[in-house]
Chains A and B, each alone.
Chain A
């Protein structure tokens, strides 16, 4: 009798053990496909790329196994490359500032406007996100040149007397970059605005503050985190992109993305391309880390 009881108890315990083990194993089985994709197609390539950046590049072969810091030294001493890094950072900072400004005003207007406009405006903001970057580039490519729409419109309205071309200028590259990053900024900032109580504005006005004061003292501090996130998002996006600036900007506008592509596909110098990519990744990671720390400092302050 007792033997039977302890036996069934033992099977019960074993079943429980198996159940627990199954429960511990189940999430890993579920996560397996996603983790495989991330580890094999992201983790492994990143490690190999880091290794590749120390390989040698001898007489036009893709790479020769070896170990050298040559490419990193080259990267930070050759004026061609240092200029590219500097240009990219400058372009990204300026484009991101402009994007955040436009996105901020846009999001604020959508927030303040009556709800019937809201869906229309959100649909509008989705457009650049849903259209391929190449189609956007091509759209601006037809807008800016001498025979493009801008020149034609200005000429036929009598504002100018001769055809003008803004193609292959830094301004064109700028317009294209802002266009692509605008939706990200807009949606980040709109979600921040939607979390605010509109009565704050009335309260501030009732207490005698002018709209400018209300903006500076109430709205800006409340949306500061959103501005930071939007800025870093669009900075990360612009620093890595190469198609828009190289297609719309002047030939001398060499960004890091363009040089990576050039070294990889044009010059077949894989180690150099990898060194460049490694610097880019470190830059992106730094921006993300800085944003995170500033964000958490602010929340800690408010708490």
Chain B
């Protein structure tokens, strides 16, 4: 019996130690690549090498002084904005249809819309490149254009928006929609003036999530862009293959900052909405 008693008292201690050790491990694991990148971006030397002796903003100046890199950043932002608009509008309309109307073959359609989300980017990129590789409409080459990449990125962003908005629309009180119909609001007017303002937080979240997905994606973009339209992650990937310099760390930091700016926007919007409700 005493042996069992000792085990009993030792056990909580053992589990607590294990839990702390695991927490330290996971925090370290997740933060290491982020912190390494952040620190390296302020390095002055041209080589990736630890320890860092001289600190400067040299590589930030280099990044913003290089037309190739700023063009890539601009391409990324334009493509991400386009993806956000395309996938959010398509996803919202589709989710509203699922919410309001009885649809024949509902489950099959649901699977069809969600399916691209589970496909590897390399497969989607290859497929789109094969299907539209030589296509040009009226002298405008579709392949390699930004529009092409936006639509390809929408294959991942749109199902996510659809999923998010479907859940959001479920919180909409149907009686308010019916009341709007009874007061003479047509379906279109009701949708734009009653329903959309009620789900504005969902819309803002959808827009920004789609933006972030497109901003970070680079496998499809690698298959579908050319020199003039390549995005920042594609350029980073190509230069990592040749040689890594602190410029890449700067690019990583800028990408991450853009993403966190988007997140802050979501938070601010959310807080604003909460304030409105409480007033």
Binding site for B on A (CB under 8 A): 23, 26-28, 30-38, 41-46, 48-49, 52, 102, 105-106, 109, 124-125, 127-128, 130-143, 145, 147-149, 151-152, 156, 179, 182, 210-211, 236, 239-243, 247, 257, 260-261, 264-265, 270, 273-274, 277, 280-281, 284, 288
Contact = CB atoms under 8 A, between A and B. Distances in A.
B112 A134 contact: no
A42 B244 contact: no
B30 A125 contact: yes
Contacts of B11: 210-211
B29 A179 contact: yes
A44 B135 CA distance: 14
Contacts of A48: 127, 130-131
A139 B33 contact: yes
Report the interface size class on chain B.
Answer: 35 or more
A109 B34 contact: no
Most buried by A among B130, B131, B216, B255: B130
Contact of A264 (B100, B129, B218, B249): B129
Contacts of A34: 90-91, 93-94, 113, 158, 162
A156 B256 CA distance: 30
Interface string B114-129: 0110111111101111
Given A134-B233, A142-B36, A147-B49, A49 B130 contact: yes
B201 interface: no
Contacts of A182: 30
Interface of B: 11, 15, 19, 22-23, 26-27, 29-34, 36-37, 40, 47-51, 86-87, 89-91, 93-94, 96-98, 100-103, 109, 112-113, 115-116, 118-124, 126-132, 151-152, 154-155, 158, 162, 187, 212, 215-219, 222-223, 233, 236-237, 240-241, 244, 248-249, 251-252, 255-256, 259-260, 263
A48 B236 CA distance: 31
Contacts of B87: 37
B249 to A, nearest CB: 7
Contacts of B218: 132-134, 243
A128 B27 CA distance: 12
Contact of B94 (A33, A260, A280): A33
